[in-house]
Amino acid sequence: MPSAPPPVFSVERVSYHYQTVTALDSVSLTIPPGKRLALLGANGSGKSTLLRLLDGLYFPDSGAISFQGSPLVRERLEEDRFAFDFRRRVGLVFQNPDVQLFNPTVFDEVAFAPLQLRCPKDEIVRRVAAALDLMEIAHLRTRPPHRLSGGEKKRVALASVLVLDPEVLLLDEPTAALDPRSQSQIIDLLIGWGNGGKTVITATHDLGLVEDIADYCYLLEHGKLAAEGSPAELLRDQALLEGANLIHAHRHRHPEGGFSHSHPHTHPHSHPHPHDS
Amino acid sequence: MKASFVERTLASLAAASDYAASAEQLASTAGALQRVDARIKVAGLFALVLAAAAARHLPAVACLFAAALLLAALSRIHPARLAAWVWTPVLFFTGTIALPALFVTPGPPVAAWGPLAVSATGLASAALLVARAETAATLAALVVLTTPWPCVLKALRVFRCPVLVVAILGMTYRYIFVILETALDMFESRKSRTVGVLEPADRRRLAAASAGVLLSKSLQLSADVHLAMQARGFRGEIYLLDDFQARRADWCWSGGFALLAAAALWWGR
C-alpha cells in the first residue's frame, strides 16, 4: 500500500519575537499537500510572520518547521541546491506590492525570479509571456511599476510569483486595499489557479473571502493558534470571531428611538432596522 | 501671500514628481533619438560628451552644442525645457566656479570696475569651461530624456557597467517614487492639521522630524524589499536579461555619432 505524501509544511511549537514583542507563541500546525488554507486573524495576530517563517525568510526562535519532511533551517537555505529547489517550489506574495516590485519595468519584475534561478533565456521569455497573459497585464510589460494603479501592482506582484508555477503559494492579504472588481478578479484567479492541484495558504482578516479561497482555516489570536476548522465551522462561531476582532460591529441608528448601538453583522435581533427595507 | 514651509515642501515634492513624469513622457514620444537603439545612443552621446570635454577651442564646442540643439529639436524637446532643467542650473554652478578666472587669469583687460579687471584670457577660459559644461550636460540630458530609464540601465549593463551598480541605480529610481509619495502624504497630512504659518523653530523641528520618520520608513522598506528579493531566489548576485535588437538605421546613427565626435576632436585639438 503506497504511503501518504509528507505534509508540505509541518510547524511544531514555533515561537518568534520581534525584540521584546511576541509575534508567535508556540504555534503548531500541519499543512497537507494540495489544500487551500486560510490563516485568519486580526492585525498583529502573527499571520504575516508565520507566512515569512514558512517561506524561510525568518527562522523560529524556538520550535521547528519542516518542508516536505526536510527541516527548514538557515543552514539548508544557504545551500544553493536546496535554496533553488525551495524557491522554485514555494512562492510568497507580499501584502504591500511596492515591497515586491523593485524592478524598472513590469517585464523585468516578472522575469526576476526565473533569472535568479538561472532559467535559460528562451524559457524566461516564454514563462514571462504566459504569466503576463494569465494575469491579463501583457499591455503593461514596458511600464514602470510606480506608474501602475493598486490593482495593477497586485496583479504584477502575483505574476512575478506565478511565473515559476510554484507548488505552494503563500499569499499575504491578497485583496487588501483593492476595489471590489479587482478583488473579485483576483479571487477568481486563485480559485482557478493550478486546477486545484496546488497548495495555497492565504493570510487574511477578510471573512468574506474565506469560503471562496479555503477548505480549512487556522485562527490566530495574539500570536497563538486559537482555533481551527472548516470555514463554515469557524464562521458560525460568533463569539470566537468577535473575541478575535474579526467580525464587524455594525453601529446604526433606530429611526423611532434616535439612539445608536452595535451588534454583530449577522443581525440576530428580531427588531426591524432601517436597512432591512 | 507668502507660502508656508509645508506648502513650499509640498510644491517641491510635486514638482519632482512632475519632472520625472515629463521625462518619462518625452522618452515615449515619437522623436528621432527616441527611435535609436539605447546602446548606440548611450555610446554615441557619451562619445560626444568626451569630445566636448577634450576640445580646446570654443568654436568646436559651440558646434557640438549646436548639434545637441538640433538633436533636441528632432527629438521634440523644447529649448525652454532644456533651459529650465539643464542650462540654468549648469550655468549657475559652472559660472560660480568660472567667475574667479575672469579676474585672476593674467592677460589684456577687456573691462574694468575699479580695481577689478576682466582679462581676455580669463573670459576665454571661463567661456570655454561654461560651454563645455553646458554641452556635456545637454548631451547627457538627451540620453535621459529620450530613453526610458530601464533601457538606459540595460545599455549600461551591455557596456560592462557592474551589475551591482546597475541594480542599485534601478532600485534607487524605483523607490525614489515610493518615498516621494510617502513624503507627500506626510506633508499633506501635516498641512490638513496646520493653521497659519509656522514659526522658524517649528519649521526646523518639523523638517527634522519628517526626515527622521522618512529615514525610518526607508530602512523598513529596504529590509522588506530584501526579503522580497530573497523570496524570489536572490542569492547576493543579480542577473539581468539583455534583449536589445539594433536595426540598420541604428548603425547609421552610430556612424553619425562617431563621425561627429571624431570631427570635434580633430578640430578642437
pLDDT of residue A194: 65
Whether residue B257 sits in one domain with residue B138: yes
**For residue B34, is pLDDT > 80?**
yes
Cα B119–chain centre separation: 33
Instruction: Provide the pLDDT confidence category of residue A236 given band limits of 50, 70 and 90.
Output: confident
Mutate to test the interface with B, among A79, A82, A146 (most CBs of B within 10 A): A146
Instruction: Provide the pLDDT confidence category of residue A263 given band limits of 50, 70 and 90.
Output: low
d(CA B25, CA B19): 10
ipTM of the complex: 0.81
Average pLDDT over residues B127-152: 90
Cell of A157: 506582484
For residue A260, the distance in angstroms to the closest alpha carbon of chain B comes to 29
Chain A interface residues (partner B, CB cutoff 8 A): 52, 55, 57, 80, 83-84, 87-88, 91-92, 94, 96, 98-105, 108, 111-113, 115-118, 121, 124-125, 142, 144-147, 160-161
Q: What is the mean pLDDT of chain A?
A: 85
**For residue B131, is pLDDT > 90?**
yes
pLDDT of residue B132: 93
- The residue written with cell numbers 559652472 in the block is B94
Which of B149, B225, B243 minimises the CB distance to A104? Answer: B149
d(CA B227, CA B231): 6
For residue A276, the distance in angstroms to the closest alpha carbon of chain B comes to 38
Angle at B238 between CA B237 and CA B243, to 5 degrees: 150
**CA distances in angstroms from B45 to A97, B36, B67, B261, listed in the order given:** 36, 11, 11, 9
Which contiguous run of DSSP H or E holds residue A87? helix A80-89
pLDDT of residue A48: 94
For residue A104, the distance in angstroms to the closest alpha carbon of chain B comes to 5
Which contiguous run of DSSP H or E holds residue B90? helix B88-104
Per-residue DSSP letters for A140-199?
GTTS-GGGS-HHHHHHHHHHHHHTT--SEEEEESTTTT--HHHHHHHHHHHHHGGGG-SE
CB atoms inside a 10 Å sphere around CB B13: 18
d(CA A260, CA A248): 15
Number of H helices, E strands in chain B: 10, 2
C-alpha closest to that of A100 among A55, A59, A37: A55
Average pLDDT over residues B156-170: 81
pLDDT of residue B104: 81
Residue of A nearest to B225 (CA): A99
For residue A244, the distance in angstroms to the closest alpha carbon of chain B comes to 27
Strand order in the sheet with A9-18: A21-31, A9-18, A62-67, A70-71
**For residue A126, is pLDDT > 90?**
yes
Whether residue B117 sits in one domain with residue B171: no
d(CA B263, CA B106): 31
Whether residue B36 sits in one domain with residue B140: yes
Per-residue DSSP letters for B181-215?
HHHHHHHHHHHHT--SPPPHHHHHHHHHHHHHHHH
Which contiguous run of DSSP H or E holds residue A129? helix A121-134
Bridge partner list, A18: A21
Of A68 and B200, more confident: A68
d(CA B213, CA B5): 18
Whether residue B211 sits in one domain with residue B133: no
**For residue A207, is pLDDT > 50?**
yes
Whether residues B150 and A144 touch (CB distance < 8 A) is answered with yes
Instruction: Provide the pLDDT confidence category of residue B242 given band limits of 50, 70 and 90.
Output: low
Whether residues B174 and A88 touch (CB distance < 8 A) is answered with no
> For chains A and B, what is the number of CB pairs under 8 angstroms?
83
Whether residues B170 and A100 touch (CB distance < 8 A) is answered with no
Instruction: Provide the pLDDT confidence category of residue A266 given band limits of 50, 70 and 90.
Output: very low
Query: Where do the structural domains in chain A lie, given as residue ranges?
Result: 9-246, 250-277
A36, with CB counted inside 10 A (0-12, 13-18, 19+), is buried
Whether residues A124 and B178 touch (CB distance < 8 A) is answered with no
Whether residue B21 sits in one domain with residue B3: yes
Range of weakest confidence among A145-159, A160-174, B128-142:
A145-159
Q: Which residues of B fall within a CB distance of 8 Å from A161?
A: 232
d(CA A201, CA A55): 11
Whether residue B112 sits in one domain with residue B96: yes
The segment with the largest mean pLDDT, out of B48-52, B108-112, B188-192, is: B48-52
- The total of structural domains in chain B comes to 2
Range of weakest confidence among A65-79, A260-274, B36-50, B236-250:
A260-274
Q: What is the mean pLDDT of chain B?
A: 84
B40, with CB counted inside 10 A (0-12, 13-18, 19+), is buried
Angle at A63 between CA A61 and CA A68, to 5 degrees: 120
Q: Which residues of A fall within a CB distance of 8 Å from B170?
A: 103-104
Whether residue B56 sits in one domain with residue B189: no
Q: How many residues does chain B have?
A: 269
For residue B46, the distance in angstroms to the closest alpha carbon of chain A comes to 22
Average pLDDT over residues B104-108: 80
Cα B70–chain centre separation: 19
Single-letter residue type at B48: L
For residue B158, the distance in angstroms to the closest alpha carbon of chain A comes to 16
| Share of residues in chain B with pLDDT > 90 (%) | 28
Whether residue B210 sits in one domain with residue B117: no
Whether residues A115 and B230 touch (CB distance < 8 A) is answered with no
d(CA A71, CA A223): 22
pLDDT of residue A29: 94
Structural contact between residues A211 and A191, judged by C-beta atoms closer than 8 angstroms: no
Instruction: Provide the pLDDT confidence category of residue A249 given band limits of 50, 70 and 90.
Output: low
pLDDT of residue A40: 92
**For residue B259, is pLDDT > 50?**
yes
Residue of B nearest to A98 (CA): B178
The parent domain of residue B249 ranges over 31-147+245-267
Instruction: Provide the pLDDT confidence category of residue A146 given band limits of 50, 70 and 90.
Output: confident
Whether residues A147 and B24 touch (CB distance < 8 A) is answered with yes
Whether residues B239 and A115 touch (CB distance < 8 A) is answered with yes
Residues 6+ apart with CB under 8 A from A250: A262, A263, A264, A265, A267
pLDDT of residue B66: 95
Residues 6+ apart with CB under 8 A from B88: none
Whether residue B115 sits in one domain with residue B50: yes
Whether residue B73 sits in one domain with residue B206: no
Bridge partner list, A241: none
Average pLDDT over residues B230-251: 78
Average pLDDT over residues A228-251: 79
Whether residue B252 sits in one domain with residue B139: yes
- CATH fold group of domain A9-246: Rossmann fold (3.40.50)
Cα B223–chain centre separation: 28
Range of weakest confidence among A25-29, A171-175, B186-190, B223-227:
B186-190
CB atoms inside a 10 Å sphere around CB A266: 13
Residue of A nearest to B149 (CA): A104
Chain B interface residues (partner A, CB cutoff 8 A): 24, 148-150, 153, 170-171, 173-175, 177-178, 221, 224-225, 227-235, 238-241, 243
Single-letter residue type at A189: L
Which of B177, B225, B232 minimises the CB distance to A146? Answer: B177
| Share of residues in chain B with pLDDT > 70 (%) | 95
**For residue B232, is pLDDT > 60?**
yes
Average pLDDT over residues B103-119: 80
Instruction: Provide the pLDDT confidence category of residue A110 given band limits of 50, 70 and 90.
Output: very high
Average pLDDT over residues A175-199: 79
Single-letter residue type at B95: G
Structural contact between residues B98 and B130, judged by C-beta atoms closer than 8 angstroms: yes
pLDDT of residue A274: 45
Average pLDDT over residues B215-227: 87
pLDDT of residue A256: 56
d(CA A127, CA A111): 8
Average pLDDT over residues A179-187: 82
d(CA B152, CA B146): 10
CB atoms inside a 10 Å sphere around CB A104: 28
Cell of B31: 522623436
Strand order in the sheet with A168-172: A90-93, A168-172, A199-204, A36-40, A216-221, A224-229
Cell of A107: 517585464
pLDDT of residue B103: 82
Whether residues B232 and A99 touch (CB distance < 8 A) is answered with no
Whether residues A145 and B174 touch (CB distance < 8 A) is answered with yes
Provide the 3-class DSSP secondary structure of residue B113.
strand
Bridge partner list, A221: A224
Cell of B188: 499633506
**For residue A269, is pLDDT > 50?**
no
Angle at A61 between CA A58 and CA A67, to 5 degrees: 55
DSSP B2: P
pLDDT of residue B3: 60
Instruction: Provide the pLDDT confidence category of residue B9 given band limits of 50, 70 and 90.
Output: confident
pLDDT of residue A275: 47
**For residue A272, is pLDDT > 60?**
no
pLDDT of residue A271: 45
Mutate to test the interface with A, among B156, B174, B182 (most CBs of A within 10 A): B174
Q: Which residues of A fall within a CB distance of 8 Å from B184?
A: none
Which contiguous run of DSSP H or E holds residue A16? strand A9-18
pLDDT of residue B238: 67
Whether residue B159 sits in one domain with residue B126: no
**For residue A240, is pLDDT > 50?**
yes
